[in-house]
Chains A and B, each alone.
Chain A
């Protein structure tokens, strides 16, 4: 919470996103939003509700259900003087945009020898446990984090969401921005005054000395909940949110692991080949001689997200499983 100023105002995560978009639309006439059901409908989560009333249908553009098409149009518009925000309703639809993101957006600047650029944001969701089954529940941010040329932001609080989204829109590169759809109603302090949050700067959400928990997006809240339980058990957990998976603030993660000598990385993407693997590797490389235990990874279970609540809840890290893992790592079983 170190970077947050608190003047008493609280906003939901969704309202913070809407405010960031409204401010940037007001500030820069080249910013526009394009996506399915984003104008009058304001998206299924109502995050954009009201924006079309202020900015009109030419800047808040309702599109056909054409994820690849609107991403491609976003890339072309970004290359020619606009700053598009492409709204991809569910993160599960990101695979439909992959050719345009991976082969076009990510590579245009490099392939052109630095002459062309793609200042575009792709906003989308992640997160399971909404009983939406395998095609509306995935957290696919690792796919885009893998690609040189892309940046990926993955905020955990309303404050971070607003500050990072404004930075994303002003960035000269394509940025994928992942919002946990289960957090849209989450409230937190957001100051009235203008601010942005730089990419590549992790935030220490809770100070601790015995174990480092690196957590992303909604897993930050799981980690904070687990840290409270661990405190009772006499384990002081430090919770760090990288906030962007690329650029990644390696130093803050490594410094914390050096300090605590133990680290768990928790993220809602599939565990295998995932964000947890990359971050665990960074910590293992950077803090190897200071670690008292191997770096532990906790991601989503490597199965398609099941529908039945009885099954779905088994697939995502929870406070309980995280506490168990932390105790194990600290030799306190």
Chain B
């Protein structure tokens, strides 16, 4: 994998705001995630998908803004709400759907499912159903990268709910002590499952990494230009040996905690949801800005969204028609040879 790390060079020495093509690419990535998640919801409500899924809709700017600042060989660890991270890091739609439907063609041969998609070829060390469960893994991957001198960095995605678990503080402490190339990306979507974060988190979130001497920044997680620009700086700093960083992204989850969480008024209002969807939508914010700047027309966004939907429909169709794993698979891969 070490040769892959250098395949994509970081944009340097020019104003990224002027790169219309890259902005449209980021819009396309967000549109793919949005369409993917809407299809997942449809599959779930149509009883075509086993189990549950935790939709990333509304948070797309973080996954895309972060992963666009990374190289292919860089590592990410993801969460139960991880479809966006996987797609943004380069996973293909058809094998994602296949995994969600428990099919052999899936990224994990159907053994992982929605909450455990791993794709080593794109540096994705796996989504994790234990909130904060991957903080040690990402930090360990950073330790590897430093020891092996392969120039990679690790990004650990987690939600603000994970701030309630102790492992994160043990790992951040060691990352800072040993100057490890890891970026902790906290997606604060406001709710730990069904509870507002103000009821679960004392003090300031940013004070926590800062207490370990970790460089910490906060960004509007709905503004992909801000996420991408901030991440580029952090990646440069971390890859250059500057030690770990922490990026707090404020965001919002449009759907419930999972696809079955439909009745939400007991923990958040419809007005609040409407406010974020109308005024703080990451796709609208990017397309609106590009249109305002005279850099693009609405028609191009309609076209991107239509293409994304076509890709999603084809990917889901592939997965629906793909075979399940053979029963003999059940006790394969318990142990590595």
Q: A residues bordering B, Cβ < 8 Å?
A: 30, 32, 58, 61, 63-64, 66, 68-82, 84, 99-100, 103-104, 108-117, 119, 148-149, 151, 172-173
B174 near A112 (CB under 8 angstroms)?
no
Min distance, Cβ B335 to any Cβ of chain A, angstroms: 5
Contact among B107, B130, B170, B336 with A117 in the assembled complex (CB-CB below 8 Å): B336
A109-B336, A111-B116, A111-B126 known; A80 and B136 CB under 8 Å?
A: no
In the assembled complex, 12 residue pairs joining A and B whose CB atoms fall closer than 8 Å, in A order, are A32-B147, A72-B135, A73-B136, A73-B139, A75-B140, A82-B147, A82-B148, A109-B336, A110-B334, A111-B126, A113-B333, A173-B336
**Contact pick for A81, options B134, B148, B337, CB 8 Å:** B148
* Residues of chain A within 8 A of B107, CB atoms compared: 112-113, 115
In the bound assembly, the distance between CA atoms of A191 and B166 in angstroms comes to 45
Assess whether A76 is in contact with B333, with CB atoms less than 8 Å apart. no
Give chain A residues whose Cβ lies under 8 Å from the Cβ of B108. 111-113, 115
Complex: chain A residue closest to B130, CB-CB: A103
Note all chain A residues with C-beta closer than 8 A to B332.
114
Once A78-B140, A79-B141, A109-B335 are accepted as A-B contacts, the answer to whether A116 and B120 lie under 8 Å apart by CB is: yes
Q: With A and B bound together, what is the CA distance between A79 and B143 in angstroms?
A: 11
For A76, the closest partner residue in chain B by CB is B140
* Cβ-defined contact, B140 with A72, below 8 A: yes
The 7 closest A-B pairs by CB, nearest first: A72-B136, A76-B140, A69-B170, A113-B109, A76-B137, A66-B170, A113-B108
B144, A68: Cβ atoms closer than 8 Å = no
Q: Are B333 and A110 in contact, with the CB atoms below 8 A?
A: yes
In the assembled complex, the Cα of A104 lies from the Cα of B166 at a distance in Å of: 16
Contact of B118 among A69, A71, A116, A149 (CB under 8 A): A116
Q: Encode contact with A along B125-155: 1 for CB under 8 Å, 0 otherwise.
A: 1101010011111111111110110000010
Q: Which residue numbers of B lie inside 8 Å of A, CB to CB?
A: 75, 77, 106-112, 116, 118-120, 125-126, 128, 130, 133-145, 147-148, 154, 166-167, 170-171, 173-174, 177-178, 332-337
Nearest-neighbour CB distance to chain A for B262, whole angstroms, equals 28
Residue of B nearest to A68 (CB): B167
Which of A66, A80, A109, A111 makes the CB contact (< 8 A) with B140? A80
Q: A76-B154, A79-B141, A115-B107 are in contact. List 5 more A-B contacts (CB 8 A).
A: A70-B174, A72-B139, A76-B138, A81-B144, A115-B119
Q: Do B144 and A72 touch (CB < 8 A)?
A: no
Instruction: Give min CB distance, A66 to chain B, whole Å.
Output: 4
- Chain B residues in 8 Å Cβ range of A109: 333-336
For the complex, what is the distance from the CA of A324 to the CA of B133, rounded to whole Å? 48
In contact, B333 and A74 (Cβ under 8 angstroms) = no
In the docked arrangement, what's the CA distance between A63 and B144, Å? 16
**Nearest chain A residue, comparing its CB with the CB of B2:** A81
Residue among A61, A80, A117 making CB contact with B145, cutoff 8 Å: A80
Known: A79-B141, A81-B148, A110-B111. A69 touches B336 (CB 8 A): no
